[in-house]
Chains A and B, each alone.
Chain A
Amino acid sequence: MFYRVGQLIPVFAGLLFAAGSATAAGTGSVKTGKLVYERYCLSCHGAEGNGQGEAAEYMAVKPRDYRQGTYKWRTTPSGSLPLDSDLEHTLLNGLHGTYMPTWRALDQRSRRDVISYIKTFSPRFATEKPQDPIVIPPDPGYSDASVARGTAVYKKYNCSQCHGPGGQGDGPSAHELKDDWGNAIVPYDLTKGHVKCGDQSTDIYRVFMTGLAGTPMPTFADSMSSADAWDLVHFIQSLSPGYAKNMMAAAADRKTGATQ
């Protein structure tokens, strides 16, 4: 079949337009998002997005107050707004150990619409752009040697100041900590077996490098090399009950070709 160039131009233009609106459509509909929010989010996060919905007073970990544009789970550096995809990640996965469940039951369109609505609670989204996400190099792999180095990294960076010598969240500074809203907050007990922002090794790495905005957990992106960070990830994983044993067994299986 033959097309003349003139016929193709509208086709290309149409494709470009579609691609353009898809990029912009990270942004969903604020109007529809408000309906989704009122149905599913309002009872905890409140009609004004201030984290003071009816259910909030019964919660030990308070729902996010959206008005400051401050989010814990981000791929962006400390101080930056999150990307839309970061907010979608939290909707998809929930936050372990809090009342925030997964919202995988919502279709993608509704997730994007509600994200657009949530962003209207903070004026920052209208005037600031999120910074580029941090780069996470590939995990060099869990090993006893890396865990041993990670033990030294934990000491070198004084992680025990808050998280305690054994990672149980009982360091000298553990008891007077407050979040941006003045609520008492405790350092995470790293021996519990799950990590709040995700159990993947990249989730743990990310927390060191972005910090947890609104909490005392700072960014180490300016002080910690990626090699040190990966050793620290493996040390923290080794604190989880059963983790080291499972990793070693999996490695042994791979070596013998037992797993497929």
Chain B
Amino acid sequence: MLNGIGAAASRHSVFARACVAVVGVGASLVTHQALASYEVMAVTNGGTIDGSVTLTGAAPGQAAIKVSKNQDYCGQTIPDPAYTVDSSGGLANVIVYLKDITKGKAAPAEPLALVNTKCMFSPRVQGAMVSQQVKISSDDTVLHNTHPQNAETNATIFNVALPFKGFSVTKPLPTMPMMIKVKCDAHEWMHAWIMELDHPYYATTSADGHFTIKDVPPGTYTLAVWHEVAGEKSAPVVVAAGQTVKPKITLAAK
């Protein structure tokens, strides 16, 4: 049922759609150009996708991250969170999203949160709408900088200093859908990912690999998953009015 699809191919389709949107609107666009391809409407008879992502095969042994600076604050080692798997194989930190959905519920009103805490980013991965605000904060006494880059081109989106504990700042994400890799230059092991989409139908798996996407207009869609190491996969999903569909998705350990 689930067909593996190359990581590059599926990422390009998001990007290609964004390019088409830009060309279509023309040179006068300033913001929200990518939203032109998504139309907000009231969803009264939506269905729910309530599924799970499981890792098949043993998660590769992960050496702890060796802390190379600020050990007095950050500690000597930090567990590598790349594969966070529970006792029954549920895989956390997987982004699950619909492809090619052009109409539906409104964008989330709240900004995203990205916290610098104990010399790591939290959350590790999350989805976002294009142009959504992200509130970046620090719980740490050491200096961090939050430096999101376009994951394909490495181009800097912005780079903001978080010089002391308790500081926070809210910034807008780009107006085009893209995969964003966030780094802290001051602590080279710190990474986070934000998948920016032009619609709000996405979720991130919890500690037991569970995810829920609500208020989906009835129809057939492509459900895609992304994990930072295990890669990408997609399969068709049929959503019926007022019903819950429970896809069980597996990703192979790499």
- The chain A residues found within 8 Å of chain B, CB to CB, are 67-70, 77-79, 126-129, 156-159, 161-162, 172-173, 176-178, 180-182, 211, 213-214, 216-220, 222-224
Contact assessment for B68 and A220 in the assembled complex, using a CB-CB cutoff below 8 Å: no
Q: Which of B95-103, B109-117, B145-153 contacts A (4 or more CB under 8 A)?
A: B145-153
Q: Is B13 on the interface with A (CB-CB < 8 A)?
A: no
Residue contacts A-B, CB under 8 angstroms, 22 given: A68-B153, A68-B156, A78-B160, A79-B159, A127-B33, A158-B142, A158-B143, A158-B163, A172-B70, A173-B69, A173-B185, A173-B187, A176-B188, A178-B185, A180-B149, A211-B160, A211-B161, A213-B159, A216-B159, A218-B145, A219-B161, A223-B164
Closest to B153 in A: A68
Contacts of B156 in A (CB 8 A): 68, 70, 79, 180, 213-214
Contact assessment for A181 and B154 in the assembled complex, using a CB-CB cutoff below 8 Å: yes
- The chain B residues found within 8 Å of chain A, CB to CB, are 22, 27, 29-30, 33, 68-70, 142-143, 145-147, 149, 153-164, 167, 169, 171, 185-188
Closest to A208 in B: B161
Query: Which 10 A-B residue pairs are closest in the complex by CB-CB distance?
Result: A216-B185, A158-B143, A79-B158, A68-B155, A172-B69, A218-B145, A218-B161, A222-B169, A157-B163, A161-B143
Contact assessment for A222 and B160 in the assembled complex, using a CB-CB cutoff below 8 Å: yes
**Given known A-B contacts A158-B163, A173-B69, A219-B160, A182 and B154 have beta carbons under 8 A apart:** yes
Contact assessment for B186 and A78 in the assembled complex, using a CB-CB cutoff below 8 Å: no
Question: What separation, in Å, do the CA atoms of A79 and B131 have in the docked complex?
Answer: 13
Contact assessment for A157 and B161 in the assembled complex, using a CB-CB cutoff below 8 Å: yes
Question: What separation, in Å, do the CA atoms of A218 and B158 have in the docked complex?
Answer: 8
Contact assessment for B159 and A219 in the assembled complex, using a CB-CB cutoff below 8 Å: yes
8 extra interface residue pairs, beta carbon distance < 8 Å, beyond A68-B153, A172-B69, A219-B160:
A70-B155, A127-B27, A157-B164, A161-B186, A213-B159, A217-B159, A219-B158, A222-B169
Contacts of A157 in B (CB 8 A): 143, 161, 163-164
A131 CB to nearest B CB, Å? 11
Contacts of B153 in A (CB 8 A): 67-68
B16 CB to nearest A CB, Å? 14
Partner of A223, one of B70, B167, B186: B167
Contacts of B70 in A (CB 8 A): 161, 172
Question: What separation, in Å, do the CA atoms of A136 and B155 have in the docked complex?
Answer: 27
Question: What separation, in Å, do the CA atoms of A136 and B182 have in the docked complex?
Answer: 29
Question: What separation, in Å, do the CA atoms of A158 and B158 have in the docked complex?
Answer: 20
Contacts of B29 in A (CB 8 A): 127
**Given known A-B contacts A176-B188, A181-B154, A158 and B164 have beta carbons under 8 A apart:** yes
Question: What separation, in Å, do the CA atoms of A182 and B153 have in the docked complex?
Answer: 11
Contact assessment for B163 and A220 in the assembled complex, using a CB-CB cutoff below 8 Å: yes
Contact assessment for B169 and A223 in the assembled complex, using a CB-CB cutoff below 8 Å: yes
Task: Name the residue in B22, B69, B145, B159 with the highest tally of chain A Cβ atoms < 10 Å from its Cβ.
Answer: B159
Closest to A177 in B: B185
